[in-house]
Structure 1
Amino acid sequence: MTLKKQLRSLLADKRGQAEQLPQSPIDWLSQPLARFLKIEAAAGLVLLFFTLLALYLANSSFSAHFVAWWETSIGFKVGSITIEHSLHTWINDALMTLFFFLIALELKRELVLGELRKPKLAMLSVAAAIGGMLVPACIYVFLQLGEPGQHGWGTVMATDTAFVIGCLALLGKRIPKSLRVFMLSLAIVDDLGAIIVVAIGYGNTIDLLNAGLALAGFAAIKLMSLLGIRSIVLFFIAGAFLWVLVDASGIHPTVTGVVLGLMTPTTKWVSDERLHNIVNALWAHPESGHKRDHHINTKLLKTAEAAAREALSPVERLELMLHPWVGFLVMPLFAFANAGIPLSLQEMSAAISMAVFIGFVVGKPLGICLFSWLAVQCGLAERPSDLSWSLIFACGVLASIGFTMAMFIANLAFAPEHINAAKFGILSASLFSATLGIALLFMVTKKNDTQFEQRTINTDAQ
């Protein structure tokens, strides 16, 4: 090896060391765990585990204790407002607010920074989501019109983002990027639509005084943002007080998460150029051991730390921070509290279970394909060249997995004597749709790969 190559190799090694943090003994455990948490399918696997565990406990000798535990009452008092709910309600109303907050953050990022900022591509997902909500609801109402479960039409409108993304992750690189974007955007818009359904269709009588105080609270949080307050802790404290006001107003409190998520800024406080200047200033001022230099370096390090943090927009920072908590704590806990139903068909309404099942399995694919086709034909939307209609149909089947949001709405929509029948329909539809959707996507992508290979061979032969 020449001297020039040796120097280049040495510099490369030094540069690589400079770009990495020092290693610690605990890294042998933390690094594989961190890699697992980044796998898209991981959250879906954890969610599936707690779903099966809840089903087992609800149908075991522990079922009475399991059900009674979720009814444990927990409460507190803020001034003249007393908030007291069961543990089950706290999970569904308070913890799920974080889930809705994350959904709203993802939607805003996609609208401002992501693929949805392209109007025609965005309209394809929006049209598909609208069709995937309206058609299942219409089918459900047709099947349950005048029946005890008529009010549960909102249950079949939702798509479970975590399970859908987890299923797509199982197929790896076979899935084109346009399909992932389409499905993620569809699921986000779908969830937002479901939230609107919760707010309008399943809200309580409005307390105008507390609703007015809640509006003032939203204005105060906007003012905090305009004044330049960037402490996430302060915003979360203000958001918690706001949640109490919205809950007391009679509006479903999870709406708080949606509004705050859409209010979150997408602009960075520190530009990339300023961040580079700060880092370069730190690099250009090496430690000399002198007290004054040490003080300057400490100040530069603190500035660089703040700049690195603020070089991401609040939307992106909050997404990165909340995603593992929602995926690996909030949603599994929700599944654990809601999926435990006794599998005794004699005690269930078969008509409600069948209406939920058909609404999902038939309505979702039909609505998504029909409204996507209409949007493209009318010139409102544009379909990417690698997103075939067979892929969109397979996605429609996969979108029939409505687990988390469907369970959430079912708890609001159905009377206690019908809730287990609705949940049985949700679980069976989700299992059927996941199996069929993955199989269809596998067949369609395999066919596309075969056609591509055949075209390549023909081109080489020519």
Structure 2
Amino acid sequence: MKITRLFNDFFHNEKSSGLILICCTVLSLILSNTGGDGWLHFWHTDLGGESVEYWINDGLMTIFFLLVGLELEREVYIGELSDIKDATLPIFGAWGGMLIPAAIFVAVNFGLPSQRGAGIPMATDIAFALAILSLLGKRVPTSLKVFLTALAVIDDLGAILLIAIFYSNDISLVNLGIALAIFGGLLALNRLKVRNLIPYLLGGVAMWWFMLHSGVHATITGVLLAFAIPFGNGDEKSTSYILQDFLHKPVAFLILPLFALANTAIPIHGSLSETLRQPYSIGIALGLVVGKPLGIGLFSYIACKLGICKLPGDISWKAIIGVGALGGIGFTMSIFITLLAFDDGETIGHAKLVILLSSLLAAILGFSMLRLILTKEVVETDG
């Protein structure tokens, strides 16, 4: 399988970002539980009428979603999702990886207020997942890297749609209409072949402000803006490529680490066993650790058996299950959806902790499975 330089750059950038996120998470947890209240209070410091944490989650994360949108756009136009034949397997895998975990969560929380958190175990953190996969080195087949990357990109799209449809409240039609009108104007600039980034970025800021006051989560602005920015033929001179290339490092090495530091500032109080017995905790854990590999593996297998797609020759079904386990690393997206799904601070804190523990378990399971499977397959191939 031919792999593009852009994919290689994307893979290695996400790998580095994931490793940094791991370090930030560990640091934040340590400071939250050993450094007194100063670390916790810092993220709630007032800044322009809102907390530091708010500006990170509703402001800076819009830039993260802009990058996600640009990457998704590239994958759809000229990347791994541009050929429907190649994209079908990860598409089905992603559907299974979203539907089965959500179904498990709903089954455990049916009829309870916590049922609103069904979207939490549907998400995959692409940076973390690729970082863990990268630890396996050269034994990982390229097709397996592509499968996980495409799966996570589709998963991101699912999370974006989820946020837009189910986690938006008290819609202001006036503000939403103005935001969409600005989006329409940016699309018109695209059609008029305006390539200068400045009007798109200014329009994006205005669209963000009105979206913020519309009831639809403001981070959706980033994705809409991405699809308004001219893609052209996607080469290094295209407006989309230039912005995507520029954003990679600030997002990977500033925005996501800040998000990790702010949102894993979790003081661990009370009984951990009591926390883990909560229905939402059970739903999150089972959804991420069991639902993800089950859904990804089952839907991929069914799609192949129906002749809709086929498994690449250099990977096995066992490897697909291993990658499915890595799909259970929710972290960034799962935490983000938690903030939208729940209002109670204690519930949010407990859910974050369960997400971290479940993601850690999923990472260990996925890494261990793939290390055993891929090592055995390499030995058998050499033999």
Give the C-alpha shift of residue 268 in structure 1. 3.9
Give 2:353's aligned residue: 424
Q: Deviations over 1:53-83 (max 9, x none)?
A: 1111211242x222222222333xxxxxxxx
Q: Give the whole-Å Cα distance in 2 for the aligned partners of 1:242 and 1:385.
A: 46
Give 1:68's aligned residue: 41
Give 1:171's aligned residue: 136
Give the C-alpha shift of residue 40 in structure 1. 4.8
Q: Give the whole-Å Cα distance in 2 for the aligned partners of 1:322 and 1:315.
A: 11
Q: Give the whole-Å Cα distance in 2 for the aligned partners of 1:263 and 1:378.
A: 37
Q: Give the whole-Å Cα distance in 2 for the aligned partners of 1:233 and 1:263.
A: 13
Aligned in 2, Cα 1:223/1:434: closer, same or farther, shift over 3 Å? same
Q: Deviations over 1:255-305 (max 9, x none)?
A: 111112233333149xxxxxxxxxxxxxxxxxxxxxxxxxxxxxxxxxxxx
The 3-state SS of whatever aligns with 1:417 is helix
Q: Where does the alignment leave 5 or more consecutive residues of structure 2 unmatched?
A: 1-8
Q: Give the whole-Å Cα distance in 1 for the aligned partners of 2:285 and 2:329.
A: 10
Give 1:53's aligned residue: 27
Asked if structure 2 preserves the Cα contact closer than 8 Å seen for 1:159 and 1:191, the reply is: yes
The percent of aligned pairs where both chains have the same amino acid is 43
Asked if structure 2 preserves the Cα contact closer than 8 Å seen for 1:133 and 1:364, the reply is: yes
Give the C-alpha shift of residue 148 in structure 1. 4.2
Aligned in 2, Cα 1:39/1:220: closer, same or farther, shift over 3 Å? closer
The 3-state SS of whatever aligns with 1:146 is coil
TM-score, L = length of structure 1: 0.76
Aligned in 2, Cα 1:361/1:408: closer, same or farther, shift over 3 Å? same
The 3-state SS of whatever aligns with 2:50 is strand
Q: Give the whole-Å Cα distance in 1 for the aligned partners of 2:245 and 2:141.
A: 24
Q: Give the whole-Å Cα distance in 2 for the aligned partners of 1:127 and 1:67.
A: 41
Is residue 2:158 matched to residue 1:193?
A: yes
Asked if structure 1 preserves the Cα contact closer than 8 Å seen for 2:97 and 2:295, the reply is: yes
Asked if structure 2 preserves the Cα contact closer than 8 Å seen for 1:360 and 1:429, the reply is: yes
Give 2:213's aligned residue: 248
In the alignment, which of 219, 222, 237 is matched to residue 312 of structure 1? 237
Q: Give the whole-Å Cα distance in 2 for the aligned partners of 1:359 and 1:72.
A: 34
Runs of 4 or more, structure 1, over 3 Å off, are: 37-40
List aligned pairs for 1:320-399, cutoff 5 A: 320-346=245-271, 349-350=275-276, 351=278, 352-399=280-327
Give 1:180's aligned residue: 145
Q: Give the whole-Å Cα distance in 2 for the aligned partners of 1:42 and 1:262.
A: 26
Aligned in 2, Cα 1:388/1:94: closer, same or farther, shift over 3 Å? same
Q: Give the whole-Å Cα distance in 2 for the aligned partners of 1:419 and 1:311.
A: 42
Is residue 2:356 matched to residue 1:402?
A: no
The 3-state SS of whatever aligns with 2:332 is helix
Aligned in 2, Cα 1:315/1:387: closer, same or farther, shift over 3 Å? farther
Q: Deviations over 1:241-268 (max 9, x none)?
A: 1100111111100111111223333314
Q: Give the whole-Å Cα distance in 2 for the aligned partners of 1:154 and 1:38.
A: 28
Q: Deviations over 1:207-253 (max 9, x none)?
A: 11111111110011122223333222332122111100111111100
Q: Give the whole-Å Cα distance in 1 for the aligned partners of 2:270 and 2:24.
A: 22
- Count how many residue pairs are aligned between Structure 1 and Structure 2: 370
Moved more, 360-369 or 109-118: 109-118
Give the C-alpha shift of residue 327 in structure 1. 0.8
Q: Give the whole-Å Cα distance in 2 for the aligned partners of 1:407 and 1:237.
A: 29
Larger CA Rg, structure 1 vs 2: 1
Q: Structure 2 counterpart of 1:51, which letter? A: T
Give the C-alpha shift of residue 345 in structure 1. 4.2
Asked if structure 1 preserves the Cα contact closer than 8 Å seen for 2:96 and 2:296, the reply is: yes
In the alignment, which of 171, 181, 198 is matched to residue 233 of structure 1? 198
Give the C-alpha shift of residue 114 in structure 1. 1.2
Give 1:115's aligned residue: 80
Moved more, 428-437 or 342-351: 342-351
RMSD of aligned alpha carbons: 1.9
Q: Structure 1 counterpart of 2:374, which letter? A: T
Q: Structure 2 counterpart of 1:336, which letter? A: L
